[in-house]
Structure formats: structure tokens, C-alpha cells
A and B are shown apart, each in its own frame.
Chain A
Amino acid sequence: MSTLEHKLTKTTETVFTAEFHSLDGNGLEKAKKYADRLSGWFDGVNATDNTAAHAHVSNVATAIAMKQLGLEPILQVVCRDKNRLAQQADIMGASMFGVENFLALTGDDVTAGDETEARRVFDLDGPQLVRLMSTIKRGEYMSGRKIDPAPHMFIGAVENPGAPPFEYRVQRVAKKYASGAKFLQLQICYHQDRLEKFCAGVRDAGLAGKIAIIPTIVLIKGARPLNFMHNNVAGIDVPADQIARVEKAADPAEEAYLQTLEFAQHALAQPAVRGLHITDFRNDETLERLMTDLGRVRQSITSEVKDNHAYSA
């Protein structure tokens, strides 16, 4: 059982997950650098799958490298680039190397990337992919062909509490829960009222305690990333007053940090929330500060733990 699954299903501890940076050239060397920075802080780290529709080192290769480096990977699988056959192959391939956490996403459209001429696949959609993962966990491919033994899997999905239709988003959570998702990472949401309503909706639907809600927090150095997200990332709206607050501050970096901390504490106080997902724009300085301010103590990763993690099924 993965640490993430153990903590979420057997304890009431708050969990922290993060996003591994995409790898390109010099991948293994860079992976080591990222792993050193993240290790000891997180219960699971996303091995991303062509983020924002840009080609990178594959999700499966990244996840295997992370395991070798002592991090617990969460394998992202998106629907944009591969059909159901290739998705099943990736899940089984990662599972062969001991990956246990899986995250199903619909994925950004190809138009969000730098090869917009590419064919979009979307053979399955997000909820169908969650169900496919449940099928594999049960010991079958989609065709019904047996997988013996069935891989051990802990399945998650994503949702955006900040994009319309707001009232319908909770029903999507119910659908993903019914398909087998046990945790749900949320898209970053700069509207606290929307996150509050979303989490209250999950609670009112009787899903608190059944699916772990993990809101996302982004570490930023100033107002630029806020403007970038607001203008360039579909589904993220940053209110003008939140941007102005950082832009007009005497020390924008400090104000950006305080804003992030405030959003993190607010998110952790919502019903059904079991942890936080931390992403950043390679902002090295404030990760440790944020984790410490949130009461997290860094676990030391010994070589023994690394050996146990690497390739353990």
C-alpha cells in the first residue's frame, strides 16, 4: 500500500502532494535535483503526462525515475494523446515498476500546447478513464481479458471548482467517486467563495470521508504568474483585487507568499479537504517556508527507505 493510500484511508493525517517538473534534456540529472528538493515533504508527487499539451519525457519513465530516487509517484494519465489501448499499456507498465497511485485526467486540449496541429485523441473522457482504472484494479482489461494478479492501485481524479457550471461540479465528483476515485486533486482556485461552495457541496452529497479532496496551491514570486494564469490558462480566473494586492505591494514577493499561505490555510479549513497539492513556477525559496508554516516537518529519506521504495511491488 502506498504512503498516500495509507494516510488517506487509515489515518486522519493531512497529506501533501506536489507536481514533478517536466523533464526534457538531461532528464535523469534534473530528476535527481527535483527529487532532492521535494523528498521528505510529500506523500506523493505527480508524474505528469505532457503538461499543457507540450511533449516531454513520458509519464511512465518519469514515474520510474521518481521511484528510483525515493519519491512516491502518482502517475498522471491524460486522455488527449492516447487511446484506451495505450492508456492501459501505460498503467500496466508503470504498475510493473511498483507505481501504485494513478490519476485520471481529461487533459488540456492540443490547442494549449506548442504543436497545435496534432490530432487530439480523447478516446475516453476523464470519468471513463477512472472506470477503466477500476477495471484494471479488479484484474481485467477493458475487453474482460484477465490480469492475474491484479495490480495494486490507488485511484484519483481531478476537478476544477472554479470553472462553470459551478453547481454541477459536485455531481462530477459523485460520478468520479462512483467510478472508483478515492482522491481528487483540484485545479487552483483563486475564488475562495467557489472553493467553499464546492467543498460544502461535496460534504452535503455525503462524499466527505469517501473521497479525499486535495485543493491546489501555487507558489509564486510576484504578480506575473497570476496575470499569466488569468490570461493564458483556460479554467483559471484570478480576481483583479488578488492581482492588485500583489502588484501594488511594497514587497510583491512577500505579499505573494502571504497570499499563498492564506489560500493554503483557507483551503485546509474546508470540509472534505484532506490535504494540499503544491505546484510552483520553480520557486525554490518558499517551498520550505510554506511547508513549515503549515506545520509540516520534513521527513528524512534514508537510503534504506529508498531501497524499499525502488521497484517494490
Chain B
Amino acid sequence: MTTFIATIEHVVKGPVWGCQDCGQCVLHSTGMTCPMNCPKTLRNGPCGGVRENGHCEVNPEMKCVWLKAYDRTQGWPLPLAWKEEYNHLRPPVDNRLKGTSSWKNFFTKRDRWTPAGWKNTTDESIEVGHN
């Protein structure tokens, strides 16, 4: 059953979002843009190597995943709660979940597990102003 759910998820999310089966989906918080398509698999925003035309340092043909995520979060009619999550600090990837269904991991809350040292000591959802 578990494999079956993972297969269905892969078939649905693969072609549409370029799902990489990390098993801990954050699409809703990144403007429906899968951060695992970033060659550096960055989950907390763009690196400093974004080209002048907004394309990727590694693949010059590709628009930076995080530019896409930013534009879509700003421009798409997504739920406000999702948009607010954009600036949250996403924890490191749990590599044990690779290839498992993020839908299942969401409902079992398995995808919210973080190591004991990953505590919040400051306000991570800090609001910032704009230029």
C-alpha cells in the first residue's frame, strides 16, 4: 500500500512539478516550485550565483528555481497561509525519507520530525520590510 501511494504521488507530481521524491514536500511554501530541482538542492532561497538574467549558476539555460518560487509566491493566487510560510527556515532534508510518499509522511507527521539539536532559539518567521 505504501509503495502504491508513493507511485501514485510520483505519477501525479513528477510531470507537473518535477518532483524528486524527497518525501518531505514543501511545494506549498515555495510557490509550488520544487526546491529539489535546484542543482544545489537549496531549500531556503537562492544562492549568490544567480546570473544577471535570473538564470542558474550551474545550468545557464534554466531559470533559477528560487526566482521562480519568489515570482509565483508573489503573483499566484495561493492561500495566504502558504505565502507566509515562504520565509520560514526549512530544516535540513531527512535523507531517510527519499523515495517515500510525502502525502503519507504528511498525514503521519513523519515529515515534521527534526533532530533534537534543531531547536529554535530565535524568531525564525521574522517579518522584514521592503526596499
Residue numbers of A with Cβ under 8 A of B are 79-80, 84, 106, 108-109, 111-112, 120, 122-128, 131-132, 134-135, 138, 140-145, 158-160, 163-168, 170-175, 177-180, 187, 197-198, 200-201, 204-207, 234-235, 237
Contact = CB atoms under 8 A, between A and B. Distances in A.
B43 interface: yes
Given A125-B44, A142-B115, A235-B51, 7 more contacts: A109-B39, A128-B91, A132-B117, A140-B117, A144-B115, A168-B66, A175-B44
21 contacts: A106-B40, A108-B57, A109-B57, A112-B49, A120-B40, A127-B45, A127-B89, A128-B43, A128-B44, A131-B89, A159-B48, A163-B46, A163-B49, A165-B46, A165-B54, A171-B87, A172-B46, A175-B44, A207-B128, A234-B57, A235-B47
B92 interface: yes
B116 A234 contact: no
B52 to A, nearest CB: 5
B57 A168 contact: no
A134 B122 CA distance: 10
Given A106-B48, A135-B119, A124 B92 contact: yes
Contacts of A106: 40, 42, 47-48
Contacts of B118: 131, 135, 142
A159 B49 CA distance: 10
Nearest to B42: A125
Given A106-B40, A131-B118, A143-B117, A165 B66 contact: yes
A92 to B, nearest CB: 13
Interface in B53-91: 54, 57-58, 64, 66-67, 70-71, 87, 89-91
A175 B87 contact: yes
A85 B63 CA distance: 32
Contacts of A187: 48
A174 B46 contact: no
Interface of B: 39-52, 54, 57-58, 64, 66-67, 70-71, 87, 89-93, 115-119, 121-126, 128-131
Nearest to B115: A142
A179 B122 contact: yes
Name B's interface SS. Answer: loop
A222 to B, nearest CB: 23
A160 B45 CA distance: 12
A170 B67 CA distance: 14
A109 B58 contact: yes
Contacts of B92: 84, 123-124, 128, 142
A163 B119 CA distance: 31
Contacts of A167: 130-131
Contacts of A144: 115-117
Given A135-B119, A165-B67, A170-B128, A178 B89 contact: yes
B52 A125 contact: no
B45 A172 contact: yes
A180 B128 contact: no
A168 B45 contact: yes
A145 to B, nearest CB: 8
A238 B121 CA distance: 39
Contacts of B44: 125-128, 172, 175
A163 B47 CA distance: 9
A143 B115 contact: yes
Contact of A175 (B51, B66, B89): B89
B87 A174 contact: yes
Contacts of B122: 177-180
Nearest to B58: A109
Given A175-B44, A175-B89, A235-B49, A112 B117 contact: no
